[in-house]
Structure 1
Amino acid sequence: MNVSEFKEIFQNNTETAGFEGMADVMEIIEAVRQEKDAALRQYTEKFDGRTLDSFKVPAEKLEDSYNALPDAERQALEKIKKRIEAYQRTIKYEDQDDGEFKYVYHPIEKVGVYVPGGTALYPSSVLMTVVPALAAGVREIHVVTPTFEENNITFAALHICGITDVYTIGGAQAIAALAFGTESIPKVDKIVGPGNYYVALAKRLLFGEVGIDMIAGPSEILIYIDSDVHVDAIVYDIFAQSEHDRNARTFLLSEDRAIIDSIEDRMSALIDAQPRAEIIRESIENNHYAVVDSRESLLGLVNFIAPEHVSVQHKDSEMIISNIKYAGAVFEGYYSPEAIGDYAAGPSHVLPTDRTGRFSHGLNVNDFLTSHAVISLKEDTFNEIADPAMTVARREQLDAHYQSLKIRTE
């Protein structure tokens, strides 16, 4: 299809930021607000089939998980942690001072982190959310995760990060617990981290009660290629995205129809051999788009979609990337596949989805800082700008404002 055909199909097929299930999530939130731990126990038993006397994971259980890791896995997590932390420190905002104006930054006091864990373990999500908070200097980090297994790699990653406040709850109820506080779990100032549809709904509803990083939807990737790409590498890039979730989306763009056809033929040939073939197949059948058009039209399409991930594997990658305005993260070239960004490149893999890249950015160290200006004007500066300020104050009929300024000019 071309760009015009794609936009019509995409807009018809893309669900609006749905509110299905909103009433159920509101009920959960209100129950946790009023009944606190009792509601958490009820929902943990209902949704996870677990009866828990205590939600908090003992510190020794986190350490045991770390000690039980094979050496290769432990070393991998530690190396990735160091790389992420080094990157985050290079982009951290610093105080500014020009004499009359200061702009200062402080770490958020208490942060809640949601780490998915209902169907799989995600130590990468621990590193991609907790490490930026550590780099910012956050003093209290409270982690919720629907992870119950003994000696698991998620707990090991938390131990590597020095986190001790970990609670085995998940879903919308975990977000509500962090937002309001319960007998077991303290109220935090901001909640970050990816989760399922109901976690996203809870974050949407509780924004304002607590800070929220973003409302992330199913994962997505846009791959812009030319005819010289490694066909099987592109196929596995698509499969890597599709195996996340049945609702994960892939967009394959090229100026050359023949290479698109070659890739889709190889997808058909290789899909049955994939361990998560069922999920990949459903994702591709419902959420895979191949678009062939002119360079100009395709560049416009990239910014229209504002994808979570953009992979540019094209001889003109520098020019193409220079024209991308909206994206969660951009990966350039054969040796920068999106999968490396999920684990070890450095920037967080918590990124805006569903076209929200038009107005938001990926999670980073600066999302864990607050800031404010300090204004210390000298007399000459005040006198220079007081007159126009008084003029506007009079026009707004705010006489006390006018007098507050006027008295300092006399």
Structure 2
Amino acid sequence: MLSKKEFYHHFETASALNQKLINNVQNIIENVRVHQDEALFQYNQQFDNVELSTLEISQTDIDNSLDKISSELRDALKESYENIKSFQERIKHENVIGKNTSLIYNPLESVGIYVPGGKAAYPSTVLMTATLAEAAGVENIIVVTPPQPEGVAPSILAACKIAGVNRVFQVGGAQSIAALAFGTETIPKVDKIVGPGNQFVATAKQLLYGQVGIDQIAGPSEIMIIADETSEPEFIVQDILAQAEHDENARTFLLSTSKVLLEKVEALLPEAINKAPRKAIIEPSIQNFHYAILTKDNEENIEIANFVAPEHLSIQSSNPEQYIHKIKYAGAMFLGPYAPEALGDYNAGPSHVLPTNQTSRFTNGLTVNDFLTSHSVISYNKSTFNQLAEGAMEIAHTEGLYQHEESVRVRVNKVVQEE
């Protein structure tokens, strides 16, 4: 149990990418750029121990995937899709049309989505990314996911079918990011790559940004829970474990003004960890990256939350609404005991692709609007031009950009036929 001062002393952001990792990923990127599909087949064998005759999954297999999952899962995926689509359509930017100046939005033409496939299959990642691209109007939605000895999970393919994915390829890691960035004989080049992945994927996205657009550089997943004496300890314990089971490096933060509540939770954790099917992942996460922090008051809770800027912020104390306008930095907020972060992962509506590692201080979670571009439109007649001309010439002259000045001046006394 830490005080605020002790927590600040112990807290560190995720480690910076090391040079050896960068060099390895650069080599992979260059190999894919030069050798294309040949390199992808090689890496499938080297990293995933899977030998394939083709990289692309057939449309028939995607279509048939809905029959290979239970009706319960099929219904759950469809419900999640509808909730996500409805929410994203509500927040989608609309064109802003003015008399002289406007802002026009257009969807990206092609998007690549990375769907992890190492420790588990994640159909939710498909829904939380592809549905947004579909809602934006993206024409070509491409999924890449690591190959599996028994084939890509039907649940992932079913989610692809439901969310309107056009093509699916069996390739993962940094090599898949390079393939999407450059294009290969089989995999088309895309405009933007989104979706979470391991450190190789994150490094490849960082190195290739500029060649291709990206959503963010994802770090270990994290949750912060604010609780008090009214909170239910068993809810909190399971929320902590739910985050820790993502990854050995996942980070969990529990803030409370109640020492009794903190002690109850810490007493329940060991038994809950021992019962967890994913104990091997959860245990190191809790041992190395779990913080229980005793705070003085709500203001201290707010200060620490804004400092950490957590990916997920679960407020299970009384009157959680008081925090809404005081917390400036969080990927997503979950209010009350019946809004567990797990609902946000699966079917609440907002995407679960969220900023980590304090990056919510300058960015936000993935939305439909990340799949749109915008451009301004400027149109003036002679009268409105004259209202701005003198000011524009003055600024241009001050900056020493004399042809800018002249391009305005030449129009001042010139009369042209206007439609």
TM-score (norm 1): 0.97
Q: Residue in 2 aligned with 1:215? A: 217
Q: Does 1:145 align with 2:148?
A: no
Q: CA deviation at 1:315?
A: 1.2
Q: Residue in 2 aligned with 1:297? A: 300
Name the SS of the counterpart of 1:21 in structure 2: helix
Letter aligned with residue 397 of structure 2: R
Would you say the 8 A contact 2:227–2:316 is kept in 1? yes
Letter aligned with residue 107 of structure 1: P
Q: Residue in 2 aligned with 1:38? A: 38
1:24-173 aligned at under 5 Å gives the runs 24-148=24-148, 149-150=150-151, 152-173=154-175
**Alignment gaps of 5+ in structure 1:** none
Q: Residue in 2 aligned with 1:365? A: 368
Q: Using the alignment, how far apart are the partners of 1:14 and 1:138 within structure 2?
A: 33
Would you say the 8 A contact 1:110–1:188 is kept in 2? yes
Q: Does 1:5 align with 2:6?
A: yes
Q: Using the alignment, how far apart are the partners of 2:341 and 2:23 within structure 1?
A: 36
Q: Does 1:266 align with 2:268?
A: yes
Q: Residue in 2 aligned with 1:332? A: 335
TM-superposition CA deviations, 1:281-303 (whole Å, max 9, x none)? 11000000111122222211111
TM-superposition CA deviations, 1:4-61 (whole Å, max 9, x none)? 21111113x7423545511000000000001101111111110011122210001111
Greater shift in the superposed pair: 301-310 or 16-25: 16-25
Greater shift in the superposed pair: 102-111 or 66-75: 66-75
Q: Residue in 1 aligned with 2:417? A: none
1:306-345 aligned at under 5 Å gives the runs 306-345=309-348
Q: Residue in 2 aligned with 1:385? A: 388
Greater shift in the superposed pair: 252-261 or 134-143: 252-261
Q: Does 1:353 align with 2:353?
A: no
Q: Which of the residues 230, 234, 237 maps onto 1:232?
A: 234
Q: CA deviation at 1:163?
A: 2.2
Q: Residue in 1 aligned with 2:256? A: 254
Describe the shift of the 1:348–1:244 C-alpha distance in structure 2 as closer, same or farther (beyond 3 A): same
Describe the shift of the 1:24–1:399 C-alpha distance in structure 2 as closer, same or farther (beyond 3 A): same
Name the SS of the counterpart of 1:360 in structure 2: coil
TM-score (norm 2): 0.95
Q: CA deviation at 1:161?
A: 2.1
Would you say the 8 A contact 1:312–1:321 is kept in 2? no
Would you say the 8 A contact 2:56–2:169 is kept in 1? yes
Q: CA deviation at 1:224?
A: 0.6
Letter aligned with residue 4 of structure 1: K
Would you say the 8 A contact 1:225–1:312 is kept in 2? yes
Q: Using the alignment, how far apart are the partners of 2:301 and 2:314 within structure 1?
A: 13
TM-superposition CA deviations, 1:327-370 (whole Å, max 9, x none)? 10011111111011000000000000001101110001000000
Letter aligned with residue 406 of structure 1: R
Q: Residue in 2 aligned with 1:276? A: 278
Q: Residue in 1 aligned with 2:406? A: 403
Give the paired residue count.
Answer: 409
TM-superposition CA deviations, 1:61-117 (whole Å, max 9, x none)? 112221111111111111111111011000000001111111000000010011111
TM-superposition CA deviations, 1:345-401 (whole Å, max 9, x none)? 000000000011011100010000000000012333222222121111111111111
Describe the shift of the 1:192–1:374 C-alpha distance in structure 2 as closer, same or farther (beyond 3 A): same
Letter aligned with residue 212 of structure 2: V
Q: C-alpha root-mean-square deviation of aligned residues, in Å? A: 1.3
Q: Residue in 1 aligned with 2:243? A: 241
Letter aligned with residue 261 of structure 1: E
Q: Residue in 2 aligned with 1:197? A: 199
Q: Using the alignment, how far apart are the partners of 1:90 and 1:387 within structure 2?
A: 42
Question: Following superposition, which runs of at least 4 residues in structure 1 exceed 4 angstroms of deviation?
Answer: 17-20
Would you say the 8 A contact 1:341–1:349 is kept in 2? yes
